[in-house]
């Protein structure tokens, strides 16, 4: 097996042997190693890795991996995507995550508001069984099973209290 990765002259920063390449890739962040694998024909050297790693040192590694995967799917050349291309993908993924978190917070707020409204009515003496069941079903559908279970238990408590009265 040919151990040389490139025929470039030694001392120019190029990686000379496959063993050296494997060792170097093992030290890279996962997202940067992914780029190496996605673009095996790219002309890169140690300084390339340093530049890319330094440019994104402050970015969450999981976010970086998602961003470079998106870039790799769209990049049409054998070269590494530019730092600017990757940065644009990082910004797009950050925005997507922000919107998803915002949507989750809005949903959580809506659940908390609905829960409080049901409690206020129940403690004022009005327990609407259908409303409690609908609330539990909505919570279950949205993935908030803990809130759905709570609503069912509270409804059972209120119904038991009204039967005892």
Give the start-to-end residue ranges of the domains of the chain.
Answer: 1-81, 94-165
Q: Rounded to two decimals, what is the model's pTM?
A: 0.61
The confidence score (pLDDT) of residue 8 equals 44
The confidence score (pLDDT) of residue 25 equals 85
Is the distance from CB of 154 to CB of 132 less than 8 angstroms?
Answer: yes
Given a cut of 70, the residues of the chain with pLDDT beneath it are 1-19, 165
The confidence score (pLDDT) of residue 72 equals 95
Q: DSSP string covering 43-89, please?
A: ---HHHHHHHHHHTTTS-HHHHHHHHHHHHHH--SSSPPPHHHHHHH
pLDDT in tens, 93-130: 999 999 999 998 999 899 999 999 999 999 998 999 99
């Amino acid at each position: 097996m040919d151990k040389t990765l490139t025929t470039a002259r030694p001392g120019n920063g190029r990686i000379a042997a496959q063993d050296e390449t494997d060792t170097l890739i093992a030290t890279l962040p996962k997202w940067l190693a992914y780029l190496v694998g996605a673009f095996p024909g790219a002309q890169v050297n140690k300084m390339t890795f340093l530049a890319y790693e330094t440019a994104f040192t402050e970015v969450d590694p999981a976010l970086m991996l998602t961003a470079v995967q998106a870039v790799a799917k769209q990049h049409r050349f054998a070269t590494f995507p530019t730092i600017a291309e990757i940065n644009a993908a990082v910004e797009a993924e950050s925005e997507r995550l922000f919107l998803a978190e915002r949507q989750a917070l809005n949903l959580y707020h809506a659940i908390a508001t609905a829960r409080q409204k049901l409690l206020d009515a129940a403690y004022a003496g009005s327990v609407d069984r259908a409303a409690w069941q609908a609330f539990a079903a909505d919570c279950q559908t949205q993935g908030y099973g803990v809130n759905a279970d709570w609503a069912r238990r509270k409804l059972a408590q209120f119904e038991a209290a009204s039967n005892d009265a």
